[in-house]
Structure 1
């Protein structure tokens, strides 16, 4: 297959590109800067510009680009950057794929496009599947618009998959770096009540799931989360065991809310007991179905 990838320099993209190349696929990396290699090609998502020829003969696009969601107060300007980077980029890719499909009706194409598990509301202990509707938080509304931006491709007959990804655990992942440091210093503990569910997935399974979805017939939203979600208290306890550190210091929820505002309330103090129903139904097998193994792999020193 000939596959174009956006966000190839990010955590997932850096692992995905060589994985696809190892399988013999031809990979084009779409970048916003000046290209530095033959397989790199420039696009300008902020201006909704891309050379139509770039996607004319591709079989698939894996679209992972977007402004990183950081643990910081969300100013109005930052919210707009988060939204625009996702909607503009996805619209650009989707419309270009739709045009390519119109010119070449014989080629079966697929768009695998990023989204987030924050699409859903916090439903407490209730399991969340792809059939559940969206929440009303800022991140939920962002995900709704992000996924809606793939409509031009879907309407043109392109198979579209929306990756509702959970917390990715892998070497170099921001969550792993931050929590690893805090816990190694003996300062770790549950956050807030600790009863909120943290839907997670190992970096290995994230990448292998994308590869699997490229070759399957699955379409629509897919939860990219491990089959065994855990509460924050369970996550904390397991991380402490892996690092052989105590976890005595709970972090008050009100303090995080004051410091980080809606980011804390939605992504840290809130939770979703999301399960990967469609992924499992399609025959995917997880390398790291349980948190202990995923954390050990993520924290291994390479």
Structure 2
């Protein structure tokens, strides 16, 4: 397959490319800047511009681009940037694919999304059929997913990858947590009772590879580990893997001071999200429980 990727320089995109090439796929990286290599092409997500001819010989698009949700405090300007970076880029990809699809070629769009769709679900398990929740993140994801509609309407198989907390050895949630836990000052956040829908980076990548060719799967798919745990259990598992204490709680008020509004929706809230579609399709997790995932991170 020839696969176009947006967000190729991020944690997931960087790790995914060599795996796809090892599978024999050809990669086209869509970049904002002037192309600097034969496997790059320029697009302008801010202005919803992507030349459909770039996708004329493309079989799949893996759309990962978007500003980091927890990178900065949620000012009104940054919240607008979070929405625009997702909706505008996704709209550009979806419309370009819709035009390219006029040739009748079978194509697939794997579009990044997030379990933030569900809002704060407490202890209630949620699956892909669960309706959208409340809050800024839920509304952001609703708009983000809706922007893929032109591609789906044109006959492209669209998969909405609702990722949880992707746990790698650097970057993402672990980029912030590992230094603290290695120093022995990590611990639960707030009450620690909120569910964290984690997934190891290897399983995230394997799920994306799986969905590329899973022709019967479309719509929302939870990319989360099969056994979500509370933040307290997550923290203790990381501490055990690193052989460090992990019982020093971070009070909710301190998180709100440090992170602002993001603390309530992105850290102190949670989703007990289950990857039901992946499980039903026979996907096999390399790290089926949080202890296995944390052991891999610490290795």
TM class, shorter-length: over 0.9
Cα 1:240–1:146 shift into 2, 3 Å? same
- Tell me the residue number matched to 1:190: 188
Name segments (4+ residues, structure 1) moved above 6 Å: none
Q: Is the 8 A contact 1:170 1:299 kept in 2?
A: no
2:204 is the alignment partner of 1:206? yes
**Matched length:** 298
- Summarize the alignment of residues 264-275 of structure 1 with structure 2, pairs less than 5 Å apart: 264-275=263-274
Question: Which deviations, in whole Å up to 9, do the C-alpha atoms of 1:52-76 show, x marking residues without a partner?
Answer: 2101121110000011122532011
Q: Cα distance, 1:243 vs. partner?
A: 1.0
Question: Which deviations, in whole Å up to 9, do the C-alpha atoms of 1:23-80 show, x marking residues without a partner?
Answer: 1111100011121210011111111112221011211100000111225320111111
Equivalent of 2:148 in 150, 153, 156: 150
- Tell me the residue number matched to 2:278: 279
Q: Is the 8 A contact 1:130 1:277 kept in 2?
A: yes
CA distance in 2, matches of 1:114, 1:248: 33
CA distance in 1, matches of 2:256, 2:31: 35
Q: Is the 8 A contact 1:121 1:272 kept in 2?
A: yes
- Tell me the residue number matched to 1:260: 259
- Tell me the residue number matched to 2:36: 36
- Summarize the alignment of residues 90-105 of structure 1 with structure 2, pairs less than 5 Å apart: 90-102=90-102, 104-105=103-104
TM score, norm. by length of structure 1: 0.96
- Tell me the residue number matched to 1:220: 219
3-state SS in 2 of match to 1:122 = coil
Where does the alignment leave 5 or more consecutive residues of structure 2 unmatched?
A: none
- Tell me the residue number matched to 1:56: 56
- Tell me the residue number matched to 1:167: 165
3-state SS in 1 of match to 2:226 = coil
Q: Cα distance, 1:293 vs. partner?
A: 1.7
Q: Cα distance, 1:299 vs. partner?
A: 3.2
Q: Cα distance, 1:225 vs. partner?
A: 0.1
CA distance in 2, matches of 1:40, 1:67: 20
Q: Aligned-pair RMSD on alpha carbons?
A: 1.1
Question: Which deviations, in whole Å up to 9, do the C-alpha atoms of 1:223-256 show, x marking residues without a partner?
Answer: 0000010101101111111111112311111221
- Tell me the residue number matched to 1:67: 67
CA distance in 2, matches of 1:210, 1:248: 34
Where does the alignment leave 5 or more consecutive residues of structure 1 unmatched?
A: none
- Tell me the residue number matched to 1:112: 110
Question: Which deviations, in whole Å up to 9, do the C-alpha atoms of 1:67-121 show, x marking residues without a partner?
Answer: 112253201111111111100000000000000112x12x111100000111102
- Tell me the residue number matched to 1:289: 288
- Tell me the residue number matched to 1:132: 130
Deviation larger for 58-67 or 184-193: 184-193
2:234 is the alignment partner of 1:235? yes
CA distance in 1, matches of 2:169, 2:186: 19
CA distance in 2, matches of 1:295, 1:34: 39
3-state SS in 1 of match to 2:137 = helix
3-state SS in 1 of match to 2:70 = coil
TM score, norm. by length of structure 2: 0.97
Q: Cα distance, 1:271 vs. partner?
A: 0.5
3-state SS in 2 of match to 1:157 = coil
